[in-house]
A and B are shown apart, each in its own frame.
Chain A
Amino acid sequence: MSRIIVITSGKGGVGKTTVTSNLGAAIANLGRKVALVDADFGLRNLDLLLGLEERVVYTALDVLAGECRLAQALVKDKRLNGLVLLPAAQNRNKESVEPEQMKTIITALAKGYDYIIVDSPAGIELGFRNSIVAAKEALIVTTPEIAAVRDADRVIGLLEAEGVSKINLIVNRIKPHMIEENKMMSVEDVLELLGVPLIGVIPDNEAVIVSTNKGEPLILGDPGSLPALAFKNIAQRLEGEKVPFLNFASDQGNILTKLRRIFGG
């Protein structure tokens, strides 16, 4: 049985697309077949982050219009065996896709892949509904900011109402020195409010921006970096392994080096 997972947040710019591309690559790196679906019609950029932009020929809309077969629209990542992308159309009206159509595509994809990971657009409108329609699981991405957490809470409520009950949380852009100085919400604060299980913590790190700009997922471009490790851990946890959480305790507010166990297990 393949797993259909939506990456969503409510608030924009918190790292959904970053998580989708890097987590997708990390899971493929474990030997799984992974299809990434860009559900951000109108503002596609998953292809950019994956460095696959130049190879996009067809999009999900062409598949729906019957202009190509699903297999033709999938862009294979040559660097990582098993990783493919189904691009979204950039130029068309984003209202032109209906949840039912999205479901058809994702259900078809599920026949050939272990993981279908859907990158949802910000907001809770049609694009959001398109991206959750076929999902069995959700990964909520939030940053430790009140507005992002509030929106995450809203989205969790909507997902629960839609019957998506397997919901895990990723807290992105953690800045340890700010938490230490009590200037930022801690992961515990976020967890306590949202009340869904934590599956990963990703530090705010330059390596993420570098990899974004190069169009190279961290697992390929900078596998030794802290965020690469964080994504690898999330991939393993999705696979059911118990991996201790990283603690990015800063040395007197210095670089994030120290790894320590927090949250037992």
Chain B
Amino acid sequence: MGYVLTQSGFSELVKSLESQYRIFAPVLKKGAGRHLDTDVVLYDFVKSAEEIELEHKSDYAFKEALLPMSETLFFFTEQQTKEADLDERPVLVFLRSCDLHALKRLDDIYLRNGKEIDPFYKRRRDLLHFVLIGCPHAFENCFCVDMGSNLTKDGYVFSIDSAEEGEDTVYRFEVPDASFNTFFEGAGGTKADVQHTYVTETKTRVRVPEEVPQAVMKDALWDEYTQRCIGCGRCNFVCPTCTCFTMQDVYYTDNGRVGERRRVEASCMVDGFTNVAGGGQYRKTKGERMRFKVLHKISDHKKRFGENMCVGCGRCDDVCPEYISYSHIINKVYDASEKVLQAKNAEGGEENE
């Protein structure tokens, strides 16, 4: 079930979709990357097919569609508060399999953690529809297969794969949501049996421990990161499953009583994340913060919600200015966990416990 389109057909398609949806997709920005003269793939609202980056993995995740880096929650005057308005047009988000899996983790926190549904998240979430970008091959730091996020079975309205065929680029769409058929018909699509591509192996591999024993939290393996990590937080900001924020008040005039409350993205790696009034602070060293972050991703979230938080997109490895490899840390945690378990088993055998 699906369609095949030519380059011009794809342009037509996006044009007609754009008349009904805002389209949020990866976009290549030349020369805006981590180093001088390197490119970066960001998310942005686009108007045409030509703007959409389908080849490279995005350096940042789609999560801004739900959690803008800075979001105004409400405005206040002396005695009133008023929720900030929102553009209520539906949004089509182009993303890859790992990111669609990440959506479930965002939902865990914002819709399922505690009694309250987050209304600011929910109102954006309700507007989103997803377009799955196929992955014919894995990128350098991806380890989605080991995290079980390489395959997506539902949750997308259609998929997109592009391939060079001779001189031309051909676009293939699997369309599980039949209500989108008219868009493809309108763009001159040829009906075809299409299935989106996905990877089944990655160069980067991780071994995720079934359970991380408490002793591993105190293991010396974390100390290295107190030395190496500079606490810049970039690994959090690019991560599709990092969800933390801090509240911030902004006032327009100094004596006027008009202002707004915002929430801004926060990072557990950056100083101040845990500071309490009066000077208390938890996890002072970068090593402790690394442990906190890594174990959240591969153990703590799972204890609470049944699935690991990390989806193996590899963006944190791509972005780290200190070349710290998070996937490597997972493997170290695995080894340390095994060691503890083996020691325990040996002991248990003797004591018959």
Chain A complexes with chain B? no
